[in-house]
Structure 1
């Protein structure tokens, strides 16, 4: 839990409560002499002279009668000084002694218990914080929002997430304007408990209140993905994109890939082509190949071919030209297939060069160029995986030549 001055402010207000104003079965007032000394230390504390206040209070500890209200008040004030100095371990030590005496008026005893729980939390003694607050909760069954937050943080630190969640939820429900950190804690608890469905409306609420905070948009996308709601995830991310919240190349490419995963390839292609034209996405082999794949999935073959042409020119290997040649062959665009396959073989680096020669040979054949077809099949024959098909084609060409 983040250490703020919240603890200090509470301690100043609660520990220096006017004991003389209390009236119950216990001794309600401290001695006049001690009252004057406490007022003196209060002024030092107000002037932030914590060292001097500490010295005076330590001297008083040895002077007051043990076991009475006077001692409890001095111990409580000393704890207050240590809390203001952010020496929480010492503060808990002294305040615990004051509480154990059980001589403070009831209201102040309850306030001291609450303060002690806060101090244990600040000192990162979370189990003690919860244990200390149990008697306080027994007398205060409807805690205020801050106490719920205190308990939620303590349980969270102990990884008792199911115990923490009701407290932070009650804190939020009981406050007109909950702090943002409370929502963040509730959201974190939903994540820890894998209650992603409950996280969705909370994130939508946070987004409505903070429409330009990219963090919430990203978290909602992630939750939708976690729950296999990819179309919703893509829709939210696309909306963030249209609002200008996605500015880096990585964020834009993440959107493109999410569209593809959600089965929305046309939207993926549209966004990527627009960003390539705007130079917000780099003109690389990988990105143009991604665009080609998007258009292919969208059955926009002409656009896919154009993108693959660009990718092939940028690539230092011939594999993309081979893919392009395959597409042209399937479209029965023989001349284009021949040109692409020759470029693929010239660039080299092919994983299946034999297959490239086969496509080249068949394209030449369909173009009535049997001699070039024969030469291509002869080269394909040199690759074991293509040898059988190449021999069959060569045999066919020989028979065709004999009968012509």
Structure 2
């Protein structure tokens, strides 16, 4: 949230105009922007020399020539005889110079000096105070920003939409979500053209409060104005998911796909997961296939495994085998290889199944270790590797989940009965 350099330059430009106006005419005749201010307007005067130096310095700062402005500002700051007005304005300019140099802490310190000297006109003084709050928020000093904004309200005797929005932002950053909602709603009510970022903060605050219906309503209103805004579509889908409304999320994303808005890896993955959650595995599998075919889905362990999972659920074994095969080299444990071995075995590829199960067992971390030995034994038996099969079944018998099945196979093998392939379990 980088504060606009233009904005800060404009602040100094305002100061320059005020400096000239204070000498040229009676400040009492100027329009009073803060009729309820608790701070009294100070006397605005400075010597002709200080005015000349500061006017020149302000011009240079606004022309992005801070290095040339620096000696003029330093001259006024070092002048013990300079008026409070001149000193305050000089420190304000010095704050701008530090900001231009990306020295935010020093900028804030100089702005605070400008306020402590207490020589600026109210409009200028209050703008500097507001700038400090903005910089504190930018520097993630959220509590300091809130305190500064409270001080601004007390001194000015007013609230504005922009100021309240800034305050709501700080509340949100400090996990004070209800105050963020209340403050931002007030800010929005005070203007006909609220900033889009305000709505985002309000929506995010509702989200954190688990007020998903309120968050959804807010995004729906925005989406009605901008139906092709992908960011809004994804936000609303996330809100529906968190609000336990998966069908609404699915309907939204399916519509977005028909509008050509599902284009990124994240889009395709989210849609595939929504189809899977809605027990529509064939649609999930088709979505993953399309995403990979278009080069939209980024290759990774997670995306390849998701392909394997949804294609398994869709009983599309060739697609599942492809996904798990690509996930295997990226896997940190053997669970994907176990799934791959299972599918290969039931695709009558027992030799490949044994290779996959070897990887599964050697990688470890298996959730179904007993099943892995049992399945490898079955694959070895299928290839008439009887001794190897008996060894694996014996190992499988050591696991409670597979003890009975393993003992049945060992018993059958002793009697010379050919073990038939067990029926494939529906995943």
Q: C-alpha separation between the residues in 1 aligned to 2:349 and 2:59?
A: 84
Q: C-alpha separation between the residues in 1 aligned to 2:17 and 2:373?
A: 87
1:122 paired with 2:173, answer no
On the 8 A contact 1:168/1:182 being kept in 2, the answer is: yes
TM-score by length of 2: 0.62
Q: C-alpha separation between the residues in 2 aligned to 1:313 and 1:56?
A: 73
On the 8 A contact 1:206/1:216 being kept in 2, the answer is: yes
Q: C-alpha separation between the residues in 1 aligned to 2:173 and 2:377?
A: 66
TM-score by length of 1: 0.65
1:263 paired with 2:279, answer yes
Aligned to 1:82: 94
Aligned to 2:73: 54
Q: C-alpha separation between the residues in 2 aligned to 1:293 and 1:192?
A: 31
Aligned to 2:10: 9
Shift, 1:342, TM fit: 7.0
1:391 paired with 2:404, answer no
Q: 1:207 to 1:397 in 2, by over 3 A?
A: same
On the 8 A contact 1:312/1:321 being kept in 2, the answer is: no
Match of residue 132, structure 1, among 151, 156, 159:
151
Aligned to 1:97: 117
Match of residue 227, structure 1, among 243, 249, 257:
243
On the 8 A contact 1:57/1:74 being kept in 2, the answer is: yes
Query: What secondary structure sits across from 1:228 in the alignment?
Result: coil
Q: C-alpha separation between the residues in 1 aligned to 2:172 and 2:72?
A: 35
On the 8 A contact 1:322/1:340 being kept in 2, the answer is: no
Q: C-alpha separation between the residues in 2 aligned to 1:15 and 1:44?
A: 10
Query: What secondary structure sits across from 2:279 in the alignment?
Result: coil
On the 8 A contact 2:354/2:380 being kept in 1, the answer is: no
Q: 1:62 to 1:159 in 2, by over 3 A?
A: farther
Shift, 1:22, TM fit: 0.7
Q: C-alpha separation between the residues in 2 aligned to 1:76 and 1:258?
A: 60
Q: C-alpha separation between the residues in 2 aligned to 1:112 and 1:283?
A: 56
On the 8 A contact 2:76/2:90 being kept in 1, the answer is: yes
Q: C-alpha separation between the residues in 2 aligned to 1:272 and 1:223?
A: 23
Match of residue 126, structure 2, among 113, 118, 124:
113
1:22 paired with 2:28, answer yes
Match of residue 202, structure 1, among 218, 227, 250:
218
Q: 1:129 to 1:291 in 2, by over 3 A?
A: closer
Q: C-alpha separation between the residues in 1 aligned to 2:342 and 2:257?
A: 35
Q: 1:155 to 1:115 in 2, by over 3 A?
A: farther
Aligned to 2:182: 166
Q: Structure 1: which 5+ runs fail to align? A: 65-70, 327-336, 365-371, 399-404
Shift, 1:256, TM fit: 1.7
On the 8 A contact 1:83/1:119 being kept in 2, the answer is: no
Note the 1:25-44 alignment, pairs <5 A: 34=47, 37-38=50-51, 41-44=54-57
Q: Structure 2: which 5+ runs fail to align? A: 33-39, 62-67, 100-106, 330-336, 361-370, 398-405, 419-427
Q: 1:60 to 1:222 in 2, by over 3 A?
A: same
CA deviations 1:230-274 (Å, max 9, x no partner) are: 233333334444444444556433432332123222321232344
Q: How many residues align?
A: 353
Q: 1:148 to 1:75 in 2, by over 3 A?
A: farther
Query: What RMSD over aligned residues (CA atoms) do the two structures have, in Å?
Result: 4.7
Rg: which structure is higher?
A: 1
Q: C-alpha separation between the residues in 2 aligned to 1:273 and 1:251?
A: 13
Q: C-alpha separation between the residues in 1 aligned to 2:43 and 2:109?
A: 29
Q: C-alpha separation between the residues in 2 aligned to 1:11 and 1:311?
A: 61
Shift, 1:75, TM fit: 3.7
Q: C-alpha separation between the residues in 1 aligned to 2:149 and 2:89?
A: 23
Aligned to 1:333: none
Match of residue 147, structure 1, among 158, 163, 176:
163
Q: C-alpha separation between the residues in 2 aligned to 1:16 and 1:288?
A: 64
Shift, 1:166, TM fit: 3.0
Shift, 1:54, TM fit: 1.6
Q: C-alpha separation between the residues in 1 aligned to 2:409 and 2:44?
A: 107
Q: 1:12 to 1:83 in 2, by over 3 A?
A: farther
Q: 1:81 to 1:324 in 2, by over 3 A?
A: closer
Q: 1:184 to 1:2 in 2, by over 3 A?
A: farther
